[in-house]
A and B are shown apart, each in its own frame.
Chain A
Amino acid sequence: MSREIRHPEGPPGVPTTSNAPVVDAAVAAPLADSGAAVLGPKRKRNEVVYFALRNSKFLLGMVVLLLYVIIGIVGPRFTDHAPYEYVGPSNEAPGSEFWLGTTTFGQDVYTQVVLGLGSTFAVGLLGGGLATLLGMAIGFTAGYRGGWIDEVLSMLTNIVLTIPQLAALIIVAAYLQVRGVIIEGVLIGLFGWPWIARAIRAQTFTLRTREFVDLARLSGVGTAKIIRREIAPNMSSYLVLVLILSFGGAILTGAFLEFLGLGPTDAVTLGTMMNHAVSWSALQLGLWWWFVPPGLVITMIVSALYFMNVGLDEVFNPKLRKT
């Protein structure tokens, strides 16, 4: 299930700076800076970067995230084992040879973790990205067109929203005998867009009636162009926040799915590691190096993303900055 932070009327799971679900809060946040749009996009971007780099929460989250990205990229260089290969004595605690010890089958935990990290990132990006794209498309269209299109899309959104994401994923994934990282990401994205669509729709509604959109419409600019040129840039800050949360949520949902044994059949992932650990009595045997690192990594990455989100929220919405 996507555990995105609610912002403002946002995803189920984690709450955020302004939980008030009403549209005006949704507008007030990132659009508070739309006055800065007058300064021109370049100046506004620099302003954002300036404040972002000085926001402690954002920095902390960013650093931790980058750390794991680096580990994910560089980590595999330090091992020449395959994740499921039998390489050493089983149940061995972390030591100089096996940095994170070995599993019941004598597999190298370190290898599994660094490779799993990569898969987890892939699932998160793919799932989160797809959910964001879908949510954007549906939300924009519903918000901009209004009328019966809006009614239909909103009903669709509500239906998919009401169906628990993990349950739907289970039902679909259980029938696939062979699963890859890509399929996992795609499935997550396919079921994770409703909260995004709702929030974007709310934003679009308010933006739609603003003067510059009316101007563009009067001058005969086509709908798609209006969306791209007038509305989207004003929502860019909000979209960044959505993407971050979507990414985090996809990672968590992926972990859940994998823990249920419905993860990729051909790749190692952190959730699958936990599944194996529990299935093979790692708990009873006290093989903490097998089940602690995967969950720890996920927790740290998702926490980092949440921190980044809160920090960026403060950057985009000056009212939240502490003086």
Chain B
Amino acid sequence: MSLQVENLRVHYQTLDGRVKALDGATFSIEDGEIMGLAGESGCGKTTLGTSLIRLAPPMTYIEGKVVLDNTELPVWDDRAMRKFRYSEISVIPQYAMSAMNPTRKIGKMTAELLKARGIRYSDVEHEFKQRLELVGLSDDVLGMYPIELSGGMKQRAVMVLSTLLNPSLLVADEITSALDVSSQRAVAEMLTEFRDRGWVKSVIFITHDVSVLAQIADSIMIMYAGKLAEKAPTGSVISAPKHPYSKLLIESLPEMGVRHAERELAGIPGKPPGLLHPPEGCRFRDRCPIAFERCHEQPPFAEVAANHMSACWRAEEV
């Protein structure tokens, strides 16, 4: 499978005007690739992930093309997208812990959902139970109400439920953000396991936490203020980033074993621009240490090294 996204623009319609939350994203993902999507809050990563699966108001589709497995996805058409959802493209939402109907037993809900999609529950029941077992949930879960499960259990159940039909693309939206470190690792590894077993082909793993991505992602895409900043294999991004924002981001991560006396923790001074009226040109230029006059012109998201994209005029020098 592969995903190609071309110049996707999605804005938010608000009382005050149009917020340009996602302003022209072009990238692609290969079969079996786990791509991490990272960036600060408000950078557009969730908008990107959500728009691939369900573009609902106040999100407004402006332009762009999304092709999954050589088929164009009509992301602007809510009804037309329905047949792709769940079977081709699926999501583990940020609110996974409250994503199940509180007044339905989990097994019953799954059966009704599948039936509504034209699939007989008995056909997938065995597989469903096996997968639940893999993530550490026993069969009894099927006869329980969501309220009887812990937060982590609910999330794992949703993970299995979302991938039951073996979608080509899975969008995992901040699934580790609410967890403690050891659970984070467990969940991240579960995701890798899913991919390795072929339950999902590719994954977009959205998070603000780059360190998790360093563990399991094949490639990392960094976003800033609604635009793509950099995309490259994980190793390259971590050790040799080619965008000043990525570099500062990586550097701001605390490193094990290094003490404050030896090296102070660095942040990135300033804050991202508002997206109601974003600045012209590169949106990072106000905070960028190597900005120069040309930065008033928006740099293209171009290939600056093998398989390495960056949106910076001075990518080489980073």
Contact = CB atoms under 8 A, between A and B. Distances in A.
Contacts of A323: 13-15, 57-58
Interface size class of A (residues with CB under 8 A): under 10
Nearest to B14: A323
A321 B14 CA distance: 11
Contacts of B15: 321, 323
Contacts of B14: 323
A26 to B, nearest CB: 18
Contacts of B58: 323
Contacts of B57: 323
A106 B238 CA distance: 95
Contacts of A321: 15
Interface in B7-44: 13-15
A56 to B, nearest CB: 15
Interface string B113-136: 000000000000000000000000
Interface string A287-323: 0000000000000000000000000000000000101
Interface size class of B (residues with CB under 8 A): under 10
A321 B15 CA distance: 10
A323 B58 CA distance: 9
Contacts of B13: 323
Interface in A139-165: none
Nearest to B15: A323
B45 to A, nearest CB: 23
Nearest to A321: B15
A321 B57 CA distance: 14
A321 B58 CA distance: 13
A210 B100 CA distance: 29
Interface in B48-97: 57-58
A53 to B, nearest CB: 16
B55 to A, nearest CB: 16
A321 B16 CA distance: 13
Interface string A177-200: 000000000000000000000000
Nearest to B13: A323
Nearest to B58: A323
A190 to B, nearest CB: 39
Nearest to B57: A323
A321 B13 CA distance: 13
A3 B15 CA distance: 34
Interface string A98-133: 000000000000000000000000000000000000
A47 to B, nearest CB: 12
A189 B15 CA distance: 41
B297 to A, nearest CB: 34
B18 to A, nearest CB: 12
A135 B127 CA distance: 56
B97 to A, nearest CB: 15
A191 to B, nearest CB: 35
Interface string A40-73: 0000000000000000000000000000000000
B164 to A, nearest CB: 31
A323 B16 CA distance: 10
6 contacts: A321-B15, A323-B13, A323-B14, A323-B15, A323-B57, A323-B58
Nearest 6 interchain pairs by C-beta: A323-B15, A323-B58, A323-B13, A323-B14, A321-B15, A323-B57
Interface of A: 321, 323
